[in-house]
């Protein structure tokens, strides 16, 4: 499930940032390709504004459903579509604006879901961490989370709420859930500002040179 409902207000483009070009291709195409290259993926759903449904369906051959005004609504819409149109056991949620995502990591996470209820990449905080009203903060007590994030479908479908204030889907699961945080996979940076395009493209290009 690729979440592609964002409007990219901070990016300053006339179109949402997942549809801007990077290296002669639309940003979202890199994400779709990674999902298609996954050996364990059976179907791909892009949750996007209806204005882009025809383009996504015809150009990339993916399923589509409508996004919402907020990310959690978009995710809930996607989960509803998957439940109503398949007998899904595992779902990988991928952000359309993390174009450096790799199929090998998606496959690794799918495999981990044989043992765990949820899995996601995590990163330790290396900068100094501050908090209003508190002079000293121990950064070792914190970490950051990102996508791709994988779930046993029945569990996330049962517990995920569109109106939740939580920004990370894993946080909506019961505390007894078996969650695997992988600190050993690349942390795929999110495309937020125009200057990110050149940096992320360089990462993808170096990766191809190394594989070649």
pLDDT digits (tens, 9 = 90+) for 17-56: 999 999 999 999 999 999 999 999 999 999 999 999 999 9
Distance CA 152, CA 89 (A): 6
pLDDT tens digits along 175-202: 999 999 999 998 888 998 899 999 999 9
pLDDT tens digits along 121-170: 999 999 999 999 999 999 999 999 999 999 999 999 999 999 999 989 99
Global pTM value: 0.92
Nearest to 64 by CA among 51, 45, 84, 86: 45
Neighbouring C-beta atoms of residue 31, cutoff 10 Å: 27
Going from the C-alpha of 199 to that of each of 71, 188, 189, 194, 196, the distances in angstroms are: 25, 12, 10, 10, 5
Which value, to the nearest 10 degrees, does the dihedral of the CA atoms of residues 146, 33, 30, 95 take?
Answer: -30
């Amino acid at each position: 499930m690729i979440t592609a409902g964002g409007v990219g207000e901070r990016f300053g483009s006339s179109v949402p940032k997942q549809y801007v070009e990077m290296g002669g291709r639309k940003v979202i195409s890199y994400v779709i390709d990674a999902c298609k290259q996954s050996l364990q993926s059976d179907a791909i759903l892009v949750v996007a504004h209806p204005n882009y449904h025809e383009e996504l369906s015809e150009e990339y051959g993916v399923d589509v459903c409508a996004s919402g005004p907020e990310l959690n609504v978009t995710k809930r819409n996607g989960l509803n579509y998957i439940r109503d149109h398949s007998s899904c056991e595992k779902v990988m949620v991928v952000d359309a604006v993390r174009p450096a995502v790799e199929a090998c990591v998606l496959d690794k996470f799918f495999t981990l879901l044989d043992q765990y209820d949820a899995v996601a990449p995590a990163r330790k905080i290396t900068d100094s961490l501050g908090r209003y009203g508190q002079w000293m903060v121990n950064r070792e007590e914190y970490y950051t989370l990102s996508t791709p994030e994988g779930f046993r479908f029945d569990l996330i479908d049962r517990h995920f709420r569109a109106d939740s204030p939580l920004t990370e889907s894993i946080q909506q699961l019961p505390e007894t859930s078996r969650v695997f945080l992988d600190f050993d996979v690349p942390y795929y940076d999110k495309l937020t500002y125009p200057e990110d395009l050149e940096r992320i493209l360089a990462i993808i290009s170096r990766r191809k040179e190394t594989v070649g």
